């Protein structure tokens, strides 16, 4: 199990220049880096890979950035744009030697509205069709796609582990896994540990976030059952800290971070990593 950090905590967008962060991440003790690729044109993946190798790090995951123009259940144009973006990201992952595309790969973040049952059923079929295409490409490239349920305020489409597993069944590809996040599960699941056990072998990626998006361990989440559940299912994937602060204005607005959650963002990374090392040992 590798412990990683999502670079949104420190920068947006991630560019070739952002690789200067790697030296600090390595010094702090992180093993893997989660890179949000907001636009594939922002990076030269070969350059990023060289910098990762130089500092003894790996790209454990690439985080999909699903803006309003990228929506696998949206307009035909949004569907086409979203799928083309995700396919291009998979190609970048091959160069980065990154195993997992993670995040809400099904729809635009922030699209949350009640729709009639018939429309919801049609959206479900449309997303499943596109994910079959995406996962076929991922499988051919030796990669996996990890679908992340989001809380009800960020999507009306997939909020829970059960819904995620339903989509996995609809797609029917071994390249499609689940990505669970303690922040979202804290809102949507009755019991986080039970959700992890239910995901079982289908859990492909895990976000360790404080209940308020702050430091893991400096929050009200009961982490011991979570650690126990991960051990029970023999989870051996990456665990990444994903947090946002007011320092990165664009992401703060997108994630509704209106106040300083922790004294400084370095504490989220350093103290969060120390906590996870103790808790997930």
DSSP string, 256-273: T--S--SS-HHHHHHHHH
Torsional sign, CA 222, 227, 228, 234: positive
Torsional sign, CA 212, 213, 214, 218: positive
Contact 244, 257 (CB under 8 A): yes
With 80 as the cut, is the pLDDT of residue 137 above it? yes
Give the CA diameter of the chain: 53
Mean pLDDT of all residues in the chain? Answer: 95
Query: How is residue 58 annotated by DSSP?
Result: E
With 80 as the cut, is the pLDDT of residue 253 above it? no
Q: Give the pLDDT of residue 113.
A: 92
Burial class of residue 30 in the structure, from the number of CB atoms within 10 Å of its CB (0-12 exposed, 13-18 middle, 19+ buried): buried
CA dist 59 and 96 (Å) reads 7
With 90 as the cut, is the pLDDT of residue 265 above it? no
Other beta carbons less than 10 A from residue 281's beta carbon: 8
Q: What length is written for the chain?
A: 281
Q: For residue range 152-204, what is the model confidence (pLDDT) as tens digits?
A: 999 999 999 999 999 999 999 999 999 999 999 999 999 999 999 999 999 99
Torsional sign, CA 179, 183, 189, 193: positive
Q: For residue range 71-93, what is the model confidence (pLDDT) as tens digits?
A: 999 999 999 999 999 999 999 99
Instruction: Show the CA angle centred on residue 210, arms to residues 40 and 229, nearest 5°.
Output: 95
Domain CATH for 245: 3.20.20.150
How far is residue 105 from each of residues 49, 68, 233, 244, 264, measured CA to CA in Å? Answer: 23, 12, 24, 20, 30
How large is the average pLDDT for residues 215-232? 97
Q: Give the pLDDT of residue 43.
A: 98
Best CA proximity match to 125, nearest among 170, 77, 160, 75:
170
The residue range of the domain holding 191 is: 2-279
CA dist 160 and 163 (Å) reads 5
Side-chain half-sphere exposure of 113, counting CA atoms within 13 A? 9
Query: How is residue 98 annotated by DSSP?
Result: -
Q: What tokens were used for 124?
A: 């479900």
The rounded percent of the chain whose pLDDT value lies above 70 is 99
At residue 267 the predicted structure's pLDDT band, cuts being 50, 70 and 90, is very high
Q: Give the pLDDT of residue 157.
A: 98
Q: Give the pLDDT of residue 63.
A: 98
How large is the average pLDDT for residues 60-72? 97
User: How many domains does one find in the chain?
Assistant: 1
Q: What tokens were used for 204?
A: 């492909």
Q: What tokens were used for 248?
A: 């990165």
Q: Give the pLDDT of residue 179.
A: 98
Q: Give the pLDDT of residue 238.
A: 98
With 80 as the cut, is the pLDDT of residue 56 above it? yes
Q: Give the pLDDT of residue 257.
A: 73
With 80 as the cut, is the pLDDT of residue 250 above it? no
Q: Assign 183 to helix, strand or coil.
A: helix
Contact 40, 89 (CB under 8 A): yes
Q: What tokens were used for 261?
A: 């959650």
Side-chain half-sphere exposure of 199, counting CA atoms within 13 A? 33
Q: What tokens were used for 167?
A: 């989509």
For residue 198, what is the enclosing H or E element?
A: helix 192-199
Q: Give the pLDDT of residue 275.
A: 97
């Amino acid at each position: 199990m590798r412990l990683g950090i999502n670079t949104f905590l420190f920068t947006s967008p991630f560019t070739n220049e952002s690789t200067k962060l790697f030296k600090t991440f390595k010094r702090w003790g992180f093993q893997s880096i989660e890179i949000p690729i907001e636009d594939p044109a922002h990076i030269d993946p070969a350059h990023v890979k060289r910098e990762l190798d130089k500092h003894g790090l790996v790209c454990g995951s690439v985080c999909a950035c699903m803006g309003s123009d990228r929506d696998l259940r949206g307009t035909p144009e949004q569907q086409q744009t979203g799928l083309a973006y995700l396919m291009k990201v998979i190609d970048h992952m091959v160069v980065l030697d990154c195993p997992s595309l993670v995040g809400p790969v099904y729809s635009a973040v922030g699209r949350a509205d009640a729709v009639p049952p018939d429309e919801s059923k049609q959206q479900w079929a449309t997303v499943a069709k596109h994910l079959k295409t995406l996962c076929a490409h991922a499988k051919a490239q030796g990669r996996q796609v990890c679908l992340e349920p989001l809380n009800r305020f960020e999507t009306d489409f997939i909020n829970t582990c059960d819904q995620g597993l339903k989509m996995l069944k609809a797609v029917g590809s071994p390249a499609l896994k689940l990505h669970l996040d303690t922040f979202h599960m804290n809102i949507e699941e009755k019991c986080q540990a039970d959700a992890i056990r239910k995901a079982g072998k289908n859990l492909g990626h895990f976000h360790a976030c404080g209940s308020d998006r702050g430091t893991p361990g400096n929050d009200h989440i009961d982490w011991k059952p979570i650690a126990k559940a991960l051990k029970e299912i023999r989870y051996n994937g990456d665990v990444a800290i994903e947090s946002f602060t007011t320092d990165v204005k664009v992401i703060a607005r997108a994630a509704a971070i209106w106040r300083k959650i922790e004294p400084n963002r370095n504490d989220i990374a350093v103290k969060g990593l120390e906590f996870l090392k103790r808790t997930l040992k």
